[in-house]
Amino acid sequence: MSSPANQVTLGVIGHVDHGKTALVRALTGIETDRLREEQERGLSIVLGFSYLESSRGMVDLIDVPGHEDFIRTMISGATGIDGVVLVVAANEGVMPQTREHFDIADLLGVERGLIVLTKTDLVDADELALAEEDVRDYLKGSFLEGAPMVHTSALRGEGMVDLREALAGIPVRARPVSDGGFYLPVDRVFGMRGFGVVVTGTLRDGKLRNDQTVEILPGGEPAGIRGLQIHNRHVDAAFPGQRVAVNLRHRKQGSLSRGDVLAAPGYLQPARRIDVDLRMLRHAAEPLRNGATVRVLFGTTEEIAKVRLLGTNALEPGESGLIQLRFRRGVVAQKGERFIVRGLTPVVTLGGGSMLDVGAPRHRRFDAAVVTRLRSAAAGDTVALVRASLQEAGFESVDHEELRQKLGIAGADMEAAVRSVGAIEVADGRLMDATAHGRLVDDIRAAVERFHRQYPRRQGLAMAGIPTLLKVDIDEAALQHAVNELQSRGELRNDASILSQTGFDPLASLSADERRVAKEIEESFQTCGLMPPPVESVLRGDRVRTGVLRLLTDTGALVRLKTYDRHRHLVMHRDVLHDVQQRLAERFPYPGEFTVADVRDLLGTTRKYIVPLMEHLDASGITIRTGNIRRLRDH
């Protein structure tokens, strides 16, 4: 069995009745027309699979149907291949399905292959030369320009030696094995007596091993692997690019179908929206417009989607652009997956490209940040992609590892890109664009300043209200980091998540009479200590005294106790509470335990005041209560 390093998968493409199946049969001895209907009609209607052991290793051949009605089957066979064998009958030359098959291969990013002129026994030397010239002219400027061309006659068995040599010379596409998981689109499902259900497909990513657990998507049902086969031989593992048959445990044939996906549990998720880079065919009949409904084909999936053009009003034939595809149901794919777009009526190929963001949020059209990020993704510029992704996040930080996985970037490349763009780490593993972070710091400083001007008698601006005030989304890590920076510069004070400018004094705006009232109220609570006066007796129904008491509470000079009894309004001076904490720490240092009675005896007051006091210390996180026992929190 060949290793993944010397194994290549080729799609055999071309017009109907140009001899693809006969060519594969003469080359390999394998009949790819498996169905009686196919053999009787001489027409392939499903994918045919065969293989050839060359001097350089194993060559998988996928014989794809040429008839227009089976183009979608051709696409499922062509996605994920390493190259193509373009078959053209010497007696007919380039035909409609020749062009469409080749367009599809080009749109799917195929970059290598060879050309086979078949049925050479039906033409003379001059006609053969004209056929070769016709094909060469058609392929000028394409990835097959200058590719090897082999003349064959399957009927006479001519050219097979030359074809085998040419196949052995096709370079193998590098397929790195992902550490993250595996991905196998299912193209066939059948049952085997004594074994149960078997699915086949071309492994796209990762390493598939015997006895692994797989997830069947999009439904998400689990299954176990009973056995693996490659070319009718049992193997312990399969690698990217290899055609593999997978025998599943505890699954019935009717529970799976073509278009399903086997994947490592949690590796892929069904998505309704996918951002893509689309290239329109030059000979497309008309432009693709925003809101159009199209058929999208990738892997072994065909699904209807609505088009959302992100950076233009229409894509003209031959143009490329960024679009978002919105599917009617969840589909399963991964970043970089190639796809084809076809019209609904008429059913013709419009274009194709690659997927940039699978599971994307809904975008506004002409959003510059989104367009910049997707263009960077399409260009493969890692640094620009990371920069654009962070800029698009705005005032919200992003998780380093989640971003790396979403963008499909290797670890070392991600680290280099993060350093290059100068991202700010606002918390452990959370990144933010440096420019956005600077704007957030400036906006918070300005917001606090405006708040002081608007409410000069209030202590400051609550941190929790900043996102609403700025009318932007800000996550907690980004907000806290920006506030910490302003604190470290000495520009802001943070008192229990209330932000104020350093040196700001809300009492400075009081009149002389209000200052006298404030001093009187504060002294009364200081003097009464642990047995504060009732709030009503302090206010005396006076509006000025009510306003001053609220201000003293807002600034923290007076503290309203947090108690279970919401109808009680006990207020103590902050100096009194600070003294209580110091005395508890001296008498009952952590992890010493104490009761309400112990505190009553220590402080020399009654349960009337001790119980709400202890409830406040519990609620403030200063003490920890277990039943009737408390202890100070370990700091």
Question: How many structural domains are present in the chain?
Answer: 5
- CATH number, residue 479: 1.10.10.2770
Q: To which residue do tokens 């040599």 refer? A: 165
pLDDT tens profile 129-139: 999 999 999 99
- Of 41-50, 237-246, 493-502, 509-518, the range with the lowest mean pLDDT is 41-50
CA dihedral 204→210→211→215, nearest 10 degrees, is 10
- Mark whether 259 and 275 lie in a shared domain: no
- Of the residues 472, 507, 542, which one is the last residue of a structural domain? 507
Amino acid at 426: V
Total Cβ atoms within 10 A of residue 16: 18
Same domain, 143 and 14: yes
The amino acid at 517 = V
pLDDT at residue 174 tops 90 = no
Say if CB 139 and CB 105 are below 8 A apart: no
Burial of residue 329 (number of CB atoms within 10 Å: 0-12, 13-18, 19+): exposed
Quick one: average pLDDT of 596-625?
Answer: 93
Task: Work out the pLDDT band at 173, boundaries 50, 70, 90.
Answer: low
The reply to whether 119 falls in a domain is yes
What pLDDT score was predicted for residue 80?
64
10 Å Cβ neighbour count for 480? 16
Are 130 and 258 found together in one domain? no
In a domain, 189, yes or no: yes
Residue 141: pLDDT band with limits 50, 70, 90 = very high
Strongest mean pLDDT among 103-117, 136-150, 514-528 = 136-150
- pLDDT band at 206; cut points 50, 70, 90: confident
Same domain, 56 and 138: yes
Q: Does residue 442 fall inside a structural domain?
A: yes
Q: Quick one: 65 and 187 in the same domain?
A: no
Determine phi and psi for 569, rounding to 5 degrees: -120, 75
Q: Which structural domain, as residue segments, surrounds residue 87?
A: 4-168
Over the Cα atoms of the chain, what is R_g? 36
Question: Does 19 share its domain with 164?
Answer: yes
Q: How far apart are CA 341 and CA 305, in angstroms?
A: 9
Domain end residue (candidates: 210, 233, 263): 263
Give the whole-number percent of the chain exceeding pLDDT 90.
59
- 3-state SS, residue 61: strand
Report which residue type is found at 364. R
The torsion angles phi and psi of 499, rounded to 5 degrees, stand at -95, 135
432 vs 424: CA distance, rounded Å? 5
SS3 633: coil
Strands 7-14 and 57-63: parallel
The encoded tokens of residue 198 equal 């078997």
Weakest mean pLDDT among 31-45, 143-157, 199-213, 591-605: 31-45
- What pLDDT band is residue 634 in, cutting at 50, 70 and 90? confident
- Phi-psi region at 291: left, alpha or beta (left = phi > 0; alpha = psi -120 to 50): left
Average pLDDT of every residue of the chain: 88
Please report whether residue 238 resides in a domain: yes
Residue 628 inside a domain? The answer is yes
Distance between CA 129 and CA 123 in Å, rounded?
10
Closest by CA to 210, choosing from 183, 247, 243, 185, is: 247
d(CA 499, CA 495): 7
Contact 461, 498 (CB under 8 A): yes
Which residue is it, tokens 């002409």?
366
The residues, ordered by sequence, that sit 6+ positions from 551 with a Cβ below 8 Å of its Cβ are: 457, 458, 506, 507, 510, 518
149-175: average pLDDT: 87
Which CATH number goes with the domain that contains 337? Answer: 2.40.30.10
Q: Are residues 144 and 10 in the same domain?
A: yes
pLDDT digits (tens, 9 = 90+) for 456-508: 878 889 999 999 999 999 999 999 999 999 999 999 999 878 899 998 888 78
Give me the amino acid identity at 356.
L
Q: Is the peptide bond before 218 cis (omega within 30 degrees of 0)?
A: yes
Same domain for 158 and 24? yes
Give the CA distances from residue 415 to residues 142, 386, 400, 419, 420, in Å, rounded to whole numbers and listed in that order: 37, 10, 9, 6, 9
pLDDT value, residue 76: 59
> 351 and 288 in one domain?
yes
The owner of tokens 């932000």 is 499
Cα separations (Å) of 575 from 528, 549, 557, 622? 12, 16, 8, 15
Q: Which residue type sits at 547?
A: G
* Mean pLDDT, rounded, for 554-564: 86
What pLDDT, on a 0 to 100 scale, did the predictor assign at position 42?
Answer: 35
pLDDT, position 5: 52
pLDDT classification of 43: cutoffs 50, 70, 90: very low
Distance CA(513)–CA(312), nearest Å, equals 66
pLDDT above 60 (res 314): yes
pLDDT digits (tens, 9 = 90+) for 574-607: 999 999 999 999 999 999 999 999 999 999 999 9
Residue 502 contacts residue 491 (beta carbons within 8 Å): yes
Q: Is residue 144 part of a domain?
A: yes
d(CA 219, CA 488): 51
Q: What is the DSSP string of 532-595?
A: PPPHHHHHTT-HHHHHHHHHHHHTTSEEE---S-TT---EEEHHHHHHHHHHHHHHS-TT-EE-
More confident residue, 252 or 333: 333
Same domain, 281 and 363: yes
Residues 6+ apart with CB under 8 A from 81: 9, 10, 11, 62, 108, 110, 202
Last residue within a domain, chosen from 122, 141, 168: 168
- Tell me the pLDDT tens digit for each residue of 423-440: 999 999 999 999 999 999
Contacts of 178 (CB under 8 A, 6+ apart): 205, 206, 240
CA nearest neighbour of 305 among 274, 278, 281, 336:
274
Tokens standing for residue 338: 């190639």
- Within-domain flag for 503: yes
Residues 577 and 431: their CA atoms lie apart, in Å, by 40
CA dist., res. 15 & res. 64, Å (int): 10
Q: Are residues 230 and 298 in the same domain?
A: no
Same domain, 68 and 141: yes
Residue 3 has pLDDT above 90, yes or no: no
Residue 343: what are its φ and ψ, rounded to 5°?
-75, 160
In a domain, 431, yes or no: no
Most confident of 46-50, 162-166, 503-507: 162-166
End-to-end CA distance of the chain: 64
Mean pLDDT of 3-8: 62
Q: What gap in Å lies between CA 115 and CA 101, rounded to an integer?
A: 13
